[in-house]
Amino acid sequence: RSCGTRASSFVCAIATSTARAQRFAPTAQLKCIRSSVVGFGARLDKEGRSRWKARSHESWTNRRAHVQRSFVVEMEEGYERPKDEDILEQEENIRSEVAASSCLVGDQEPLNVLLEEYSNPVLQKKIVELSQNYRCIRRIRGDGNCFYRACLCGLLERKKTLDGDRKVEECLAILAEWKNKLVEAGFQLLVFEDAMDMLVEQLEQSKGGDLEATLSILRDSIISNFLIMLLRMITAAHLKQRSEHFEPFVLNYGGDCESMQDFCEKYVLPMGVESDHMHAVAFAEAMRLHIRIEYLDRSEASAQHDFKLEGNDSSSPDIMLLYRPGHYDVIYRKA
């Protein structure tokens, strides 16, 4: 293409970048940026012919990178770059938009569909190994609540198949205890009572084995998030009850928590905040559940971890999850 055509193409690309910058730049600054774009394009059109011909051996990628770097230099002279907080907020908005486009709780899929998502030989090997013991996966939306949503899904589904009614009754008795414990931990009954009643109702209905009704509840964002709020409260209350055990880990958690109360307010109670090892330990202990988590990452060794109360000799997990860095899904063992 001619140098004039190339210059026009570059100006269009830079104008697109300018439009993206509108989120951060004041109007006056944008006018300056637009003027720089027009002037920059004109210089390319006038002076660019001989310069680009002399550099004809360079690749198109290098030429484009050269122009972009020049534009960045010009922008930085009269343009205040967005703050890190603004960039992080924009990235979080993008992640939220992507998450919102996925289903809260998906259908069961064969576990080996994961082979199509990864080309890394370590990950492929682990997926093949997992497929020997697990038959399928149920994907959970990655919105920061995936651990609790996956546990809620596993809880309502598994109670139908693992020792049936006895498991349901055990869970109902535990929830009855937590009704008083939450009040003692400082939570107002008015805040969580409806969510507690709703979870009790869903557990009772799970005895009938109506999977479609269960999935309908789990896929309702208002109802399922209401129940997740309750599970977060239970986790926070348990952490506070056993603060002497957990506090040493909390003080090193991100370096911004001075107490267990501080940790719970920042990393446990808010919706959309991701959960990690300590949350899993606390939730499993609080609900007296046996949760098994299989880890799918790039480490060479295969790994699984069982979360349960000390002294619980159960070899059959109540809930089984697959963890990929930053995300949890539900998985199902072969019969």
Which residues does the annotation mark as catalytic? 143, 146, 327
**Nearest alpha-carbon partner for 320 in 301, 300, 296:** 296
Say which residues have a Cβ less than 8 Å from residue 22's Cβ, sequence separation at least 6: 30
Return the residue matching tokens 């939450």.
182
Token output for 251: 């003080």
Collapse the DSSP code of 220 into the 3-class scheme (helix H, G, I; strand E, B; otherwise coil) and give the result. coil
Q: Among 61, 60, 67, which residue's Cα sits nearest to residue 36?
A: 67
CA 172 to chain centre: 29
- 3-state SS string for 136-187: EEEEECCCCCHHHHHHHHHHHHHCCCCCHHHHHHHHHHHHHHHHHHHHHCCC
* Residue for token pair 């998502």: 117
| CA nearest to 280, candidates 314, 230, 323 | 323
- 295: phi then psi, degrees, rounded to nearest 5: -105, 125
The CA distance from 62 to 60, in Å, is 5
Collapse the DSSP code of 303 into the 3-class scheme (helix H, G, I; strand E, B; otherwise coil) and give the result: strand
Q: Which residue has the tokens 């190339």?
A: 6
Tokens of 128: 């093949």
